[in-house]
Amino acid sequence: MAKKRIVVLYGGRADEHSISCVSTAGVLNAWNNDKFEAIPIGITKDGHWVYGGTDPRTFKLDGAHMPTVEITPESRPVVLNIGQGRDGFLIGEHEGFTTPGASEDLESLGHIDAVFPVLHGPYGEDGTVQGLLEMMGVPYVGCGVFASAACMDKHFTKTLLKAAGIPVSPGITLDTRSYDAPSGFKANGAALLDAVRKAGLEYPLFVKPSRAGSSFGVTKVEEESADALAAAVFEASHHDWRVLVETGITAREIECAVFAPKPGETPRPAWPGEIVLDHAAVEDQFYDYDSKYTDASASHVEVPAKLPEELLRKVQQTAVRAFEAVDGAGLSRVDTFVKPDGDVLVNEINTMPGFTPISMYPKAWEASGIAYPDLIEALIEGVLD
């Protein structure tokens, strides 16, 4: 039986570019080569689609080096012919990177059975690539256009969840496009404080870009200060003009992996897990970018989280409800807050959660009975004809 040919997209234009590279290394190193032929296509930070060059299986993430998709002498540009659908993945000569039209003769990558977009953040996890693949008629792993777009934008995620009767963390949304950086942000400090007071938000506050991930641009504001709040909003605005200001909730952050590889299938939740910070002596620390990816000693994963089983089940039920409310498909990680009184609030939904060696999603399923290679295989098989 011929192997199914699967394009694996990685890299991308988002801040999470390097995380995507390492996630892809994890996926490809756990790949079932007997069933699937992997065709890695990288996307550079400036948007070039690249075939060949550095093998993504070699990517690692550490404090000294952040892997990126680079154009090497062996690389060739990928050109898409939308009308040819699954046969529309073409490659040109290397000169095509610098001289448009340099390659008149394009070579086909052959028939493509599906795409696994291991892309995090904007221009990959936000419905843009999903829409492109829909237009080509190419099956792909993960959430569709609507769910991807809605969950990429934390503001609209909360809007959808609230409409479905699912509790979310209190907060306000700011449009920073009219601010002149950086002086304009500082000048608006008093107005920002007033907006926080009117909304009844309590300190500490978390200020975050609405459409970003991996804790990029997130700042914790400990106490009422116009300058500190303005600086936090300014930092978040580097990543998105829409900025959320949310109450810092006294709660445990519990994450639940949801799995529904086949269309129409009832979503399955894994045992909820918790990221436990190992630097407890630092009172103001939160689960930032370094804790997630570059400092393996900063935290560890506990699955299942150390909570009563009844509460774990409640998190699972909430995660599935949230997944269904946004029309999720394939996979997602639903991040929740579990309060001391047992209330469960949804913080956000990640439609392409990290697959790095220390990521929650694969660890949660491993603890729930599905090994990482089997997880990847099921996700791919779920979208094949």
Q: Which residues are catalytic?
A: 16, 214, 359
**72 annotated as belonging to a binding site for a ligand:** no
**146 annotated as belonging to a binding site for a ligand:** no
**166 annotated as belonging to a binding site for a ligand:** no
**350 annotated as belonging to a binding site for a ligand:** yes
**208 annotated as belonging to a binding site for a ligand:** yes
**Dist. CA 336–CA 346, nearest whole Å:** 4
**173 annotated as belonging to a binding site for a ligand:** no
Q: How far apart are the first and last CA of the chain?
A: 15
Three-state secondary structure readout of 227-266 = HHHHHHHHHHHCCCCEEEEEECCCCEEEEEEEEECCCCCC
**6 annotated as belonging to a binding site for a ligand:** no
Q: Where are the beta strands (DSSP E) in 14-117?
A: 36-43, 49-51, 76-80, 89-91, 107-108, 114-117
**247 annotated as belonging to a binding site for a ligand:** yes
**Longest CA span, the chain:** 67
**249 annotated as belonging to a binding site for a ligand:** yes
Q: Which of 175, 43, 199 is nearest to 118 (CA)?
A: 43
Q: Which of 148, 31, 49, 57 is nearest to 89 (CA)?
A: 49
**292 annotated as belonging to a binding site for a ligand:** no
Q: Which two tokens stand for residue 184?
A: 């304009």
**253 annotated as belonging to a binding site for a ligand:** yes
Residues 6+ apart with CB under 8 A from 2: none
Q: Which two tokens stand for residue 136?
A: 């080509």
Q: What is the signed CA dihedral for 279, 280, 281, 286, rounded to 10 degrees?
A: 80
**206 annotated as belonging to a binding site for a ligand:** yes
Q: Give CA separation, 151 vs 141, 157, 276, in Å.
A: 16, 5, 25
**252 annotated as belonging to a binding site for a ligand:** yes
**Dist. CA 320–CA 268, nearest whole Å:** 7
**108 annotated as belonging to a binding site for a ligand:** no
Q: Which of 89, 105, 93 is nearest to 39 (CA)?
A: 89
**251 annotated as belonging to a binding site for a ligand:** yes
**248 annotated as belonging to a binding site for a ligand:** yes
Q: Which of 121, 29, 12 is nearest to 67 (CA)?
A: 12
**154 annotated as belonging to a binding site for a ligand:** yes
**341 annotated as belonging to a binding site for a ligand:** no
Residues annotated within a binding site for ATP: 154, 206-208, 214-215, 246-253, 347-348
| Residues tagged in the binding site annotation for Mg(2+) | 335, 348, 350
| Binding-site residue positions | 154, 206-208, 214-215, 246-253, 335, 347-348, 350
